[in-house]
Amino acid sequence: MSSQLASLKVLVADDHFLIRQFVRNTLQEAKVTNVQTAADGNEAIDLVQKAYDASQPYDVVFLDWNMPTISGLEVLSYFRAKPEYATTAFVMLTAESEQQNIMKAIKAGATSYIIKPVSPGDLSKKLIEIHEWIKRKRQSSQTVGNTP
């Protein structure tokens, strides 16, 4: 599994430097080598669009809810409105733990929701689940694309 995780391209968008470093380090320990970071919602949108335009889209985007300029929920909604990002996993990684916020994010199209603080072990387990989601989405989109 770690060899499959190694191929993932991941963006971590969080306004707290230590959180970005923690997630990057945890992902690298899980053998994910292509991890980039963004400090706010505008930067996240810019990086995701540039990666897609360069035909090197992100597989997973971790989003903090509360970021300057544009919230993680707004970033999520922005990309979920675009069909070309249907197979990108958008994961809320946030301290927002109220059930209504979790439901709001899921309704907006979040692939998963992780409440901070999170342990490295739990983050690694979630990453495996997210990777499985990506594989299923890509298989179903290829099947739909091949239908005459």
pLDDT of residue 3: 66
Q: What mean pLDDT is predicted for residues 125-147?
A: 83
> What's the pLDDT tens digit per position in 48-91?
999 999 999 999 999 999 998 999 999 999 999 999 999 999 99
Element (H, E) at 91: strand 89-94
Indicate the pTM of the whole model.
0.93
Q: Is residue 142 over pLDDT 50?
A: yes
Contact between residue 105 and residue 91 where contact means Cβ atoms under 8 Å apart:
no
- Break the chain into its structural domains and give their ranges: 2-145
Q: Quick one: which of 65, 6, 57, 62 has its CA closest to 37? A: 62
Between 146 and 104, name the one with better pLDDT.
104
- State pLDDT tens for residues 80-124: 999 999 999 999 999 999 999 999 999 999 999 999 999 999 999
Instruction: Say which amino acid occupies 2.
Output: S
Nearest residue to 91 (alpha-carbon basis) of 81, 79, 83: 79
Q: What are 67's two structure tokens?
A: 């970021």
Question: Which residues contact residue 50 at a Cβ distance below 8 angstroms, ignoring those fewer than 6 apart?
Answer: none
CA diameter of the chain = 49
pLDDT for the residue 2: 59
CATH architecture assignment, domain 2-145: 3-Layer(aba) Sandwich (3.40)
DSSP line for 6-52: HT-EEEEE-S-HHHHHHHHHHHHHTT--EEEEESSHHHHHHHHHHHH
